[in-house]
A = this chain, B = another copy of it.
Amino acid sequence: MTGALKSTRSLNVTEALRERLLQGEFDPGTRLQETWLAERMQVSRTPIREALRVLAKDGLLEYAPNRGYSVRHFSLDDIVSAFRVRSVLEGLGCRLIAERGMSSGLSESLHATLQTGENLLQSGQLQRGEFDEWREMNKAFHLAILLETHNDLLVRFAKQSRNIPIVFNGSFRWYSLREFQRAHDHHQVIFDAMANQQPERADFMMQEHIMHAALILKKNYND
């Protein structure tokens, strides 16, 4: 299994809070007071403080000494900037794999996600519940590539760059069938480029893929 067997309140609180921040539960600028959070989460201030510090490191909160933590505001520019960073990171991932060639394990994993994508597109129009399946598939595709690079820092940064409220839960909201199809096409080309050891093409298409997602977001995001 993939699960974390051991945990602590501190870690649990961190992830619970992160989730709530990513859901956009707190308005930007809101000050997160330790005592308030502590009693609300049925826990002492100690694990709360540790969680807050970590989430600030992740860029979700802002911190000022003796003044505590507040919820960070993400402008549209911030979000697009994050996409740009992520695009070169994942682009690099594809390039590295294309250079050395795909392992059979990666080839199979990606093939499975492509198949899943194909199936989801068959129905003609993605239903409510299928959004989640698509999101799963998409996440699996991108993560499989990253992990195969065995570049620890690359994986960490790419994961971290997705820590943006709202964006990485409901962003497929805006997608029409046409957009899903295009994303699927991108995935296929990326796969093909890596399979045929075309680093430049793999890198470029991954950047294109991610920045197109940013473009759609830009068109629809209001704030």
Contact = CB atoms under 8 A, between A and B. Distances in A.
Copies assembled? 2
Interface of A is mostly: helix
A68 B145 CA distance: 31
**Looking at chain A, what size class is its interface with the partner chain?**
20 to 34
A39 interface: no
Contact of A92 (B53, B64, B88): B88
Interface string A27-62: 000000000000000000000011001100111000
Contacts of A154: 81, 84-85
Contacts of A7: 65
Nearest to A87: B92
Contacts of A91: 88
Interface of A: 6-8, 11, 49-50, 53-54, 57-59, 64-66, 78, 81-82, 84-85, 88-89, 91-92, 96, 150-154, 156-157, 160-161
7 contacts: A49-B50, A53-B53, A59-B153, A85-B151, A85-B153, A88-B89, A157-B160
